[in-house]
Chain A
Amino acid sequence: MEKRLIKKEALAGIAKKMAEEFLVWAPVKKEDNVLFEPLQKDGEPYLAYLNSKNAPKNVFFPHTETLMKYTRTEKGMAFSSEENKAAESVLFGVRPCDAHSFALLDMLFDQDKYKDAYYIAKRLNTTVISMACVKPPYASCFCTSVDGEPVSSEGADVLLTDIGSDYLVEFITAKGEKLTRYFGDTKADAAADTRKEEIAAKAKEAIQSKIPAHEVKPILDVNFDNPFWNTIHSKCLACGTCTYMCPTCHCFDISDEVKGADGVRIRSWDSCMFPLFTKETSGHNPRTSQKERWRQRAMHKFKYYVDNFNAIACVGCGRCVMSCPVNIDIRKIVEDISKL
């Protein structure tokens, strides 16, 4: 594996240099929030960020995306084109938890039988550069409970680790190695590796928040009808913020829009928290109240995804914990389930 060292102050310039040549999604400051957005010509990546307000899943799975276009003909609406172009791009500076989420989303969108061409095209054309968390950004971080680590290269093509005055740059994949030319020519020495290992161990230890995410799987297997499910949803507003913030939530809607003679079929993020999500034309709704919807969310993350892909669909970023307007805390829910 190719490894380089770069001076810390050089990093912003590297991102900007890349942005001259292709699309670079980088953390940028927007009022009080940090968001991953395309880096503009005169834009500056915001490198003092803890983590972005929203998960960067929108790079591969946009809020709204055109699946196809059609146009009106004499005989009805005719299919005119499909939208499936992905520009060569770099996702610069995602945290390891969010990079982990890409590996989880791949399991769903890139299955053997049905491949999601839109997602896959963007994944293939995007190089992910992760920025290790040498200090866990939030007290609510719990990546180590869900198969993650604050210094981890999972889901990343390049991993940057702050080892003091330098960043250690590790080119994890062949796709990542195509970017070596931007990172100077100082080869990393063994001392840098050792330093990184120390930092990684320390960062891991600093993650204080822990949940029994693996332990609850056998409990969830047999507790679909447990009265416990009556206890968590009553204050839920069904706003869907948790699912919109979540790096691994991937439910979507497909709808048609027409203007004049032309139309588009789009897909947009949807949420299992919404009452209409499962409501059928007949009026029948298999998930009748917020109780069933919350059970679905918890089950999907800690049981169903494990059943299907042998992976927990949570990366421990804590966004849902921080963003819920009524302080529903998935950590507490998992903790409580472990005691059933």
Chain B
Amino acid sequence: MQNPYIPYPVVVDKIITEVDTKDIKTFRFKFVNPEDEEKYAYIPGQFGELSIFGKGESPIGIASSPTQKGYVEFTVQKAGVVTTALHEMEEGTLMGLRGPLGNSWPLEYLEGKNIVIVGGGFAFTTLRSLINYMIHDDNRKRFGNITVIYGARTPGLLLYKDELEEWGKRSDLNLNVTVDKGDATWKGREGFVPTVCKEVAPSKENAVAVICGPPIMIRFTLPVFFEIGFSKENIITSLEMRMKCGIGKCGRCNVGSKYVCKDGPVFSLAELDQLTPEY
């Protein structure tokens, strides 16, 4: 019986500072025991508990795609005790990783459909996982049109800049990157995510919107999609709650009779309507 409280030992293999404020970094982990990588088979949208012995654990969405073999990545903002300790780590450090936890983006449901991905700020991480999964050669034909709308406050706060550039060159992905306010070198789009959604106006035909971002962005983006005619079943998002165990026992991510860690974090708006508004 695998003990779900015990992390897999991992080594910090690579650290990438994502933003100019330097408080968001991507951490690439390699499993100390190669066989653990197989046990850590995950699906985009799932999360892991980053486990720093002596500090504690922090639940973070998985930012890499299962199509990327040999490692797993998490993009982490420096915020509390654990994430601060993580940000101070050097490559080569030993730590722990639990999971994969939670449900995932509903890949089977998304298959054969046109996918609209809307991300804001730092909440883009598990969306990046989903995008890289869908555009992988093995998977691309399983999905229809892919439209990505991604915004950050400033150009310096955009994550995964190299990948954005690569995605921008693809003909099978409609990428729309925006910033609230550009700077001297910014040649791209300026404007808030909801406004850009309105302009891009993705069709509702056979389409699912996957939306992840700060509450304020979600609040103004949803009406845009309702107006286009997206049903609540076809708008999908991911919740965050304080968590400890990650396996539906410790009780703190309880929203109604669901546990965000185990029954979520991914819910459709139709499902969220059934939950108590306590998140």
Contacts and interface: CB of A to CB of B under 8 A. Distances in A.
A56 B11 CA distance: 41
Contact of A263 (B9, B53, B244): B53
A287 interface: yes
A250 interface: yes
Contacts of A224: 256, 276
Interface residues of A, dominant DSSP: mixed
A75 B93 contact: yes
Contacts of B7: 79
Nearest to B81: A281
A292 to B, nearest CB: 7
B270 interface: no
Interface in A57-80: 67-68, 70, 72-73, 75-79
A287 B248 CA distance: 18
A114 B5 CA distance: 10
B149 interface: no
Contacts of A250: 249, 251
Contacts of A116: 4-5, 249
A252 B241 contact: no
Contacts of A303: 257
Contacts, number: 128
A113 B1 CA distance: 11
Contacts of B55: 256
Contacts of A287: 278
Contacts of A79: 6-7, 9, 53, 96
Interface string B248-261: 11111011110000
Interface string B239-279: 01110110111111011110000100000000000001011
B54 A82 contact: no
Interface string B177-221: 000000000000000000000000000000000000000000000
A300 interface: yes
Interface stretch (A33-41, A143-151, A191-199, A270-278): A270-278
B53 A270 contact: no
Interface in A83-111: 84, 108-109, 111
A308 B5 contact: no
B276 to A, nearest CB: 5
Contact of B250 (A118, A256, A270): A270
B248 A111 contact: yes
B56 interface: yes
B251 A114 contact: no
Contact of A114 (B4, B89, B278): B4
B164 interface: no
A270 B250 CA distance: 8
Contact of B249 (A114, A280, A292): A114
Contacts of A77: 52-54, 94-95
Given A115-B1, A224-B276, 13 more contacts: A67-B5, A68-B5, A75-B11, A78-B53, A82-B3, A108-B248, A116-B5, A251-B251, A252-B245, A263-B53, A272-B254, A281-B79, A282-B79
8 contacts: A67-B5, A72-B54, A75-B93, A77-B53, A79-B6, A251-B252, A267-B250, A280-B241
